[in-house]
Amino acid sequence: MANFQRLTPRSEDYSKWYNELVVKADLAEQSAVRGCMVIKPYGYAIWEAIQAELDRRFKEKGVKNAYFPLLIPKSFLSREAEHVEGFAKECAVVTHHRLKNDPNGKGVIVDPDARLEEELIIRPTSETIIWSTYKNWISSYRDLPILCNQWCNVMRWEMRTRLFLRTAEFLWQEGHTAHATKEEAEDYARTMLDVYADFAENVMAIPVVKGVKSPNERFAGALNTYCIEAMMQDGKALQAGTSHFLGQNFAKSFDVQFLSKENKYEYVWATSWGVSTRLMGALIMTHSDDNGLVLPPHLAPIQVAIVPIFKTQEQLDAIMAKLNPIADKLQQMGIRVQVNTSDKYTPGYKFADYELKGVPVRLAMGGRDLENGTIEIARRDTLTKETISIDGIEEKIQSLLEDIQRNCYQKALDYRIAQTREVNSYEEFKEEIKKGGFLLCHWDGTPETEERIKEETKATIRCIPLEALPGHTNEPGKCMVTGKPSAGRVVFAIAY
């Protein structure tokens, strides 16, 4: 049941506001297992909408879903040298395969006789198990490309966890493709970046900067990591998706070669790309306000909530005679509607609940509306409401939903643009970074400089943008720290 105690305002404590909102809006909660979350039905419905939209886009690009094992032999992780450094350390290790009754009668204990010969790791990501499989699937150029994706759970033993943003177990999709040429693989990694960016902007209403990671921030085992970076309402950056060009690293580690058209054996070229339930965190932190969740209509499980205000059954019947045809027509138009006639809760309670849960449009009709042929229509993003005639209400709602979608995006974009600024000296940088936002700065391209900046300010290079950000140009200059040449400005920020 919803809890309408006021949320801590964002201005007071952004982090607390987020934690409270996730729980109160029924999105997720901590479980009995440290660092693992329960995704509640309302939160999961949003994730399902995300999945459906992404899955359709993947399939349009020729991707097919498959499923690979949860457990990975420990030795696989050592095969790719960089990969093991990045992923093998904090992970869940399965060492035994049986419990037995405690001889002292206290529940169950691990059976020491059921120790595995080789320990198994719960996948933190699946490059290794997938490339060990691709070895059997690929022998000739005819078998390429392979464009597979899986929707699954993964686990990374994080010490400090936050719902959706950083959890030990999370849900994600991971695409893994195999190609005959370097060019094709690089193109595909870029194609999937574009899919992510399109999805983020047009479905999630989150403006993103497309870019390339600096070597320090690259995926362990990748030659190049493309990313989309978003800005949250506290001015911090959130990496919303990554697409990696893996070169031939995994093909070499797992000896995956193919016979080319020219009858030569060559190593296969690879990409991998993924987004996770972290997107839920980005969605919440981009749009929501001190009253609760704000959802862009394209992802809202309920787009329109309809609440009759009644005292007697007779009055309810009369109101529903007007509201039911509206609900039916909206549904026929493909709009997700919830009609709430429950007498368990008051209309005031229902309004507060829909507000907390970010339902984009709320309709209410009472006795006076019934007499006047009107209806109250409230929009969540602006918190405005008006009373209008019910004539042609369905078309008005349809266009209102698109307005709200656009407004969510524009508001977030305006904020990001206002919080993005060019900084030219390191002194200025140290002051500016405290205010948050994206700082566009020249950097000499060395890991040493990047590390120094990170140590001294906690800021990291979020990406080297693929194109200039709106209102900015991208020309060569001099590193703000060392004065050495810089090819163009990169995006610095404090990141989630």
User: Binding residues for its own copies, per CB under 8 A?
Assistant: 1, 29, 31-33, 36-41, 44-45, 47-48, 64-78, 84, 88-100, 107-108, 110, 119-122, 129, 132-133, 136, 139-140, 142-143, 148, 152-153, 155, 157, 169, 171, 344
DSSP code, position 469: P
96/368 with CB nearer its own copies: 96
Match 């405005």 to its residue by tokens: 384
89/435 with CB nearer its own copies: 89
Q: Please name the amino acid found at residue 414.
A: D
CA-based end-to-end distance of the chain: 30
- Per DSSP (E only), the strands in 205-268 are 209-212, 224-231, 237-247, 257-259, 265-267
3/15 with CB nearer its own copies: 3
Which contiguous run of DSSP H or E holds residue 18?
Answer: helix 14-24
164/196 with CB nearer its own copies: 164
1/392 with CB nearer its own copies: 1
- Least Å distance, CB 258 to its own copies, is 12
Secondary structure (H, E, C), 254-317: CCCEEECCCCCEEECEEEEEEEECHHHHHHHHHHCECCECCCCHHHCCCCEEEEECCCCHHHHH
Quick one: how far is CA 255 from the chain centroid? 33
71/316 with CB nearer its own copies: 71
Taking CA atoms, 164 is separated from 204, 215, 217, 296, 327, in Å, by: 16, 26, 21, 18, 33
- Least Å distance, CB 455 to its own copies, is 24
- Least Å distance, CB 28 to its own copies, is 9
Question: Contact at 8 Å (CB) between 385 and 406?
Answer: no
Question: Contact at 8 Å (CB) between 481 and 449?
Answer: yes
- Least Å distance, CB 85 to its own copies, is 9
Report the greatest alpha carbon distance in the chain. Answer: 82
- Least Å distance, CB 466 to its own copies, is 31
- Least Å distance, CB 67 to its own copies, is 4
- Least Å distance, CB 339 to its own copies, is 14
- Least Å distance, CB 112 to its own copies, is 11
Q: 10 Å Cβ neighbour count for 14?
A: 17
Question: Contact at 8 Å (CB) between 207 and 229?
Answer: no
Its sign, for the CA torsion 344, 347, 349, 354, is positive
- Least Å distance, CB 142 to its own copies, is 5
14/345 with CB nearer its own copies: 345
76/409 with CB nearer its own copies: 76
Token readout for 464 is: 């080297």
Token readout for 12 is: 């007071």
148/433 with CB nearer its own copies: 148
Give the gyration radius of the chain's Cα atoms: 26
